[in-house]
Amino acid sequence: MKQISRREFLAAGMTGAALLCFPGPSAGFDLWGTKTRRASGPSDITGSVFKNSAPETPWKWSVEAFDYVKHADRSVTCAICPHECRLLPGDRGLCRSRVNIDGVLYSLVYGNPCSINVDPVEKKPLFHFLPRTTAFSIAGAGCNFRCLNCQNWEISQATPETLRHYELFPDGVVQSAGQAGAASIAYTYSEAVTFFEYMYDTARLARQQGIKSLLISNGYISKNPLSALCDVIDGANINLKSFDDALYRKLNGGRLAPVLDTLETLHRRGVHLEVTHLVVPGYTDEESLFRRMCAWIVEALGPDHPLHLLRFFPQYRLNRLAPTPVEVLTRFRNLAMAAGIRYVYVGNVPDHEGVHTRCPNCNRVLIFRHGYNVTQPGIKNGRCAACGTAIPGVWV
């Protein structure tokens, strides 16, 4: 199965033909309709752009951005995420995948995923969404965060043209997912917000074919694109990285408030929502901070959205740290449950008690997990088979 990098394609000439790896149209395929414009935009964000790094002309893996502001000097302000990068012609945004070409903002990650896999939906992690089914998973290059502990930094911190990729436009994604027998398509691995237009068009087509769409994200997205996305996605796992704005800036290169807004919007719009929190030693393992996070979740989102506490392992620029002690994860799980969160899971610790789903009323094991081997003996029609308590989730 041959792949071709964008750099190789450009070197071969813009009229050259890339080799297809999956079924799908061989020309630019854009379902996108009228672009949204706003009259004015925010000020520049210092250090948020790569100067003069955009290609001179768009190519077939590019599409005009969903939402941005045009300025009189042919600069543009991206409105996809809260960074709101202000880009002069030739500049590339913080995410590395959006560029200003002659006064028009383009996404360079449309129809060219750098990673494709068929995963258990539990890997996302989503524990209350169609257990034992698979998700057709795709990723585009780039990310709007700079997490020091990123586990997928090879693709999230890269520009699209430096990675080898597949050519797979939205209808090809949906067709391939159907052929793979996947119940859903997951936008994952790097940062789904970075390839928003590709995700949106794919999710809209997938819904027409009865295939679910899953947003796996840091939640750093602006209100307008998030509102549009809520119309076409079915589930989400948002990584709430900490509950302190200064720590968000230090560890991740973002801010806390927009992520909280995203969580509240997904909850309000009825999108199935699960939350992930990576417990990083020396950064996010402060008990008082975690207690505040749990209290906010219960107050703002309610007690029924699953919370996944993940064990940290040395990664990327935090490879000097030790893994999270298991006893810390166990203590945090107990704290979260004491705060009122009903479904709290422990990840990256095989055979921990916190990998199973229990009824919050009678404590019966409803879903048993051993790795990605899942049995579901205790749920019937979305309820505990023993006591009849409704279990929130998507079960059919």
For residue 230, is pLDDT > 80?
yes
Size (the chain), residues? 396
Q: Where are the domains of the chain?
A: 115-384
Predicted TM-score of the model (pTM) = 0.87
Helix H or strand E segment including 370? strand 365-370
What 3-state class would DSSP assign to 66?
coil
Alpha helices in the chain (DSSP H): 6-12, 153-156, 170-179, 196-208, 223-230, 245-251, 256-268, 287-300, 326-339
Contact 173, 211 (CB under 8 A): no
pLDDT at 48: 56
The DSSP code for 90 is T
Q: For 320-330, how does the pLDDT look when each residue is reduced to its tens digit (9 = 90+)?
A: 999 999 999 99
Helix (H) or strand (E) holding 63: strand 63-64
DSSP state of 373: E
- Could you read off the pLDDT of 255-313 as tens digits, one per residue? 999 999 999 999 999 999 999 999 999 999 999 999 999 999 999 999 999 999 999 99
* CA distances to 125, 211, 346 from 372, in Å: 11, 21, 14
pLDDT interval class at 201 (50, 70, 90) = very high
- pLDDT single digits (tens) 275-289: 999 999 999 999 999
State the DSSP string of 166-224: ----HHHHHHHHHHTT-SEEEE-SS-GGGGHHHHHHHHHHHHHTT-EEEEEE-----HH
Q: Are 84 and 224 in contact (CB under 8 A)?
A: no
DSSP state, residue 251 = H
pLDDT greater than 90 at residue 37: no
Band (61; pLDDT cuts 50, 70, 90):
confident
What is the pLDDT at residue 59? 66
pLDDT of residue 396: 83
Residues 115-384, CATH architecture: Alpha-Beta Barrel (3.20)
